[in-house]
Structure 1
Amino acid sequence: MNRSAAAGGTATLVASALSNQLGAATGSLAFPVMGPVGVVAVRQLVAAAVLLPTVRPKLRELSWQQWWPVLLLALSFGTMNLGLYASIQRIGLGLAVTLEFLGPLAVALISSRQKAGAFCAIAAAAGVVLITRPEASTDFVGIGFGLMAACSWAAYILLNRVVGRRIQGIQGTAAASGVSATLFLPVAVVVFLSRPVDGLAVLCAVGAGVLASVLPYVADLIALRRVPASLFGILMSVNPVFAAIIGALVLRQELELMQWAGIALIVAANVGVLLLGRSKLNDPEPG
């Protein structure tokens, strides 16, 4: 692998992370009109509208052994985004995305099976305490939604591995996006019929689908051809940092010094565990 290809892949992954967090911020602008559920519904529909005609998965040829992980993947995909966006609405972009990253961190810790991974787990736990600082006024519901997104992302990673072994190429991912969009279609209909939805809110929700689903998905596929999976996982850890910065600059969601320290600890834990077990890890990206 030459240096120019690696540098190009690295730049692509950084751009992917930036696009992902800009998409989440854009989607949050539609929360007052559509709510997190409505935004997620539109995002899922946009992702399916791009992936299905592009990949054209052979759905009729899939056996039940192939279908059941696809169905579970679709469910985890939807709950991951729903938990994240609901968390963003309550506790802000930076903290929600950081909590969500506990999911892949947990998978990495389990996969590494090294004693040094315990120190990463302790660092991550300390980071969560610094971020949440439990007290009477803490928004435990928002934190719960963030942890739901984390669990869903962990399930998404594990199910992606199963789907990748049983279905050729990315047909399984495309099929899962179609199933998820089908599940959210009635939600989108109810949202649009039950409340006045203006064009700007719809544009923000569609923008979230493009910026946070379509562009990162394409960029990550390109980057994975140029950088090792271990480097991919490490570079993905920049997402919480971008989320915190974009939340502060774009959404005026200021963080305190201790919360920044918590984000840094969780990012460091992600990088540390990936470096410890990079020969064993394979890090699929979220759709």
Structure 2
Amino acid sequence: MKGLLINNETALSVMAVALAMMSLTAGAALAKSMFSYIDPASVTAIRFIMSAVFLTCVLRAWEVQLTRDNIGTVVVYGSMIAGMNLFFYLAIETIPIGMALAIELVGPLCVSIVYSRKRSDVIWVALVAVGIAILLPTSTSVMNLDATGVLYALVAGAFWGLMSLRGKKPAGNTDRRRRL
């Protein structure tokens, strides 16, 4: 029973995930509202420009020292983030945000299942699976979903799963000039 207790660290983690999901869905709703003016690829580009400004201004990105050893990691990780966002935005152009998100969550859920090590992990994965099942369409409404949108959501999920795996790699040492 000890492994099932929720401590402060777990509560903080759950809260962080909840806030991240609220941010993600609010951003997706804003992005979807822009599709009548610009295409999903342009929305993705705008999101990346805004992220670059944030990283530069708030997180002092200029202190990160790019080297020949880490530039590949940065490009690969950035490409995964771009792919995940682009395909998610392409998905929500034709299917509801909740459906796209539920389908996309299959990617990181699969990673969680494969790399689960503790009993409590199984409970969290099961809770996520139940949440996904609740969001997924019923058999009658599945016929109304655009197949291309579903495929885009699955590709976005694959990028998210790969990004989760790649993000586990240590970023290297940190000193006065932070390195990746």
Deviation for aligned residue 1:13: 4.8
Distance 1:137 1:9, change over 3 A: closer
Normalised by the length of structure 1, the TM-score is: 0.48
Listed as ranges, the matches of 1:43-62 within 5 Å are 43-53=47-57, 54-58=59-63, 61-62=65-66
Does 1 or 2 have the higher relative contact order (CA < 8 Å, sep 6+)? 1
Could you tell me whether the CA contact under 8 Å between 1:132 and 1:143 is conserved in 2?
Answer: no
TM-superposition CA deviations, 1:168-197 (whole Å, max 9, x none): 49864xxxxxxxxxxxxxxxxxxxxxxxxx
Could you tell me whether the CA contact under 8 Å between 2:171 and 2:179 is conserved in 1?
Answer: no
Aligned partners of 1:16, 1:42: CA distance in 2, in Å? 19
Distance 1:141 1:109, change over 3 A: same
Could you tell me whether the CA contact under 8 Å between 1:76 and 1:152 is conserved in 2?
Answer: yes
1:25 matched to 2:29: yes
RMSD: 3.6
TM-superposition CA deviations, 1:28-76 (whole Å, max 9, x none): 11101102111111011001111023322445x4333312121110100
More helix per residue: 1 or 2? 1
Q: 1:156 aligns with which of 163, 167, 175?
A: 163
Normalised by the length of structure 2, the TM-score is: 0.72
Deviation for aligned residue 1:160: 1.6
Could you tell me whether the CA contact under 8 Å between 2:66 and 2:179 is conserved in 1?
Answer: no
Could you tell me whether the CA contact under 8 Å between 1:79 and 1:152 is conserved in 2?
Answer: yes
Deviation for aligned residue 1:127: 3.5
Listed as ranges, the matches of 1:162-173 within 5 Å are 162=169, 164-166=170-172, 168=174, 172=180
Match of 1:240 in 2: none
Aligned partners of 2:13, 2:117: CA distance in 1, in Å? 29
1:147 matched to 2:154: yes
TM-superposition CA deviations, 1:98-132 (whole Å, max 9, x none): 11111111111110268996x95xx67x949x537
Task: Give the number of equivalent residue pairs.
Answer: 163
Letter in 2 for 1:131: P
Letter in 1 for 2:69: Q
Aligned partners of 2:145, 2:20: CA distance in 1, in Å? 32
Unaligned runs of 5+ in 1: 173-287
Unaligned runs of 5+ in 2: 1-6
Distance 1:161 1:10, change over 3 A: closer
Deviation for aligned residue 1:26: 1.2
TM-superposition CA deviations, 1:143-168 (whole Å, max 9, x none): 01001110111111122222x33364
Aligned partners of 1:89, 1:141: CA distance in 2, in Å? 10
1:131 matched to 2:176: no
Deviation for aligned residue 1:81: 0.5
Aligned partners of 2:27, 2:77: CA distance in 1, in Å? 22
Letter in 1 for 2:21: A
1:103 matched to 2:107: yes
Aligned partners of 2:174, 2:164: CA distance in 1, in Å? 17
Q: 1:35 aligns with which of 29, 36, 39?
A: 39
Could you tell me whether the CA contact under 8 Å between 1:31 and 1:89 is conserved in 2?
Answer: yes
